[in-house]
Amino acid sequence: MAATPDGRTVLELRADCTRCAALCCVGLPFQRSADFAFDKPGGVPCGNLRDDLRCGVHAQLRERGFAGCTVFDCFGAGQHVTAAFEGRDWRDGPDVAGRMFTAFGVQRRLHELAWYLVDAVDRPVDAPLRDEARALLARVSAVADAAPDAPDRGDVDDLHGSVVDVLGRISAAVRGAARRSLPGRRRDRRRADLVGARLRDADLRTVDLRGAWLMGADLRGADLRLADLVGADLRGADLRGADLSDALFVTGPQAAAARGDATTRLPGRVPRPTHWTSAPTR
């Protein structure tokens, strides 16, 4: 657990592979594709995993054909589950391995929900709605921490529905307030098919892009401030020069799946992908 500047206690939401038993490298399956150089079934260690549970090609993942690994984020669930098993891990037998991998999958869902809620509670909305989000964040953290090795899936499903509802209402409140000072009408594009769309320099401020398909879209120089990007697919999207500085509900995996450069502006809590170019390339 960790504390926010105002004293709120929440889950640790940044992955720390040095404190994890390589759960994503073993428990998760992947198939040979543009993202992975070979097939791997779930529960089987990746061929790149060393005996010390560190990746042998971590510094060259993209060059070696494992771009998919660079866009995965457990939001801190890995170290949470590893700590809960108190020195045991998947190498101690199938019973421990099964429980550990199941817990990892459920905990990752909880940690991701917490990631969104931390963003939500910092938004300028009316106190009752903010308090509702804070209470929900406390519930998510409590469920995750009470039984980190075996949280109840039903509880997680219920929490997921509640989080989706609160995020939607906070998004509407924040974007609605900001729109009153913007010229023209805003066309929301929730779940829109924008694959390969030409949106260079587009004014997308406050636009609802929840679940939109933006794979390969040209978003160079686009203004995405206060756009709702929860669940938007940004794989291969060109974000060079784009402004996402206060976009709603952006995650590290979304940024890592896109293209960016030194002029791309991300929310402060979203880590800048190491494979992005360090110089402006617009």
Domain locations in the chain as residue ranges? 2-28+72-176, 188-282
SS3 96: helix
Residue 281's pLDDT is 55
Cα separation, 232 vs 242, in Å, equals 15
- CA–CA gap between residue 17 and residue 12 (Å, rounded): 13
Calpha distance 149→222 (Å, rounded)? 43
Per-residue pLDDT, averaged over 64-71, amounts to: 95
**What DSSP string describes 164-196?**
HHHHHHHHHHHHHHHHTTSSS-----TT-B-TT
pLDDT in tens, 104-115: 999 999 999 999
Residues 170-217 pLDDT 10s: 999 999 999 999 988 889 999 999 999 999 999 999 999 999 999 999
Among 50, 15, 55, 21, smallest CA distance to 256 is for 15
Please give the distance of CA 149 from its chain centroid, rounded to a whole number: 22
Amino acid at 20: C
How big is the chain, counted in residues?
282
pLDDT band at 277 (very low <50, low <70, confident <90, very high): confident
What's the pLDDT score for residue 11? 84
Instruction: State how far Cα 253 lies from the chain centre.
Output: 5
Dig out the tokens for 270 from the structure. Answer: 């979203």
Interhelix angle for 127-146 vs 94-121, to 10°?
170
Cα(197)–Cα(219) distance, integer angstroms: 8
β-strand partners of 2? 10
* pLDDT tens digit sequence for 222-261: 999 999 999 999 999 999 999 999 999 999 999 999 999 9
Closest CA to 76 of 26, 23, 35: 23
Answer yes or no: CATH 3.40.630.30 is held by domain 188-282: no
Alpha carbons 273 and 89: distance in angstroms, whole number: 30
Residue 161: CB atoms within 10 Å: 9
Q: Say if residue 5's pLDDT is above 50.
A: no
The predicted model scores a pTM of: 0.92
Q: How confident is the model at residue 131 (pLDDT cuts 50, 70, 90)?
A: very high
- pLDDT range class, residue 6, cuts 50, 70, 90: very low
Do 281 and 261 contact (CB within 8 A), yes or no? yes
Average pLDDT, the chain: 92
Query: Each residue of 164-181: pLDDT tens digit?
Result: 999 999 999 999 999 999
Residue 129 to residue 93: CA distance in whole angstroms: 46
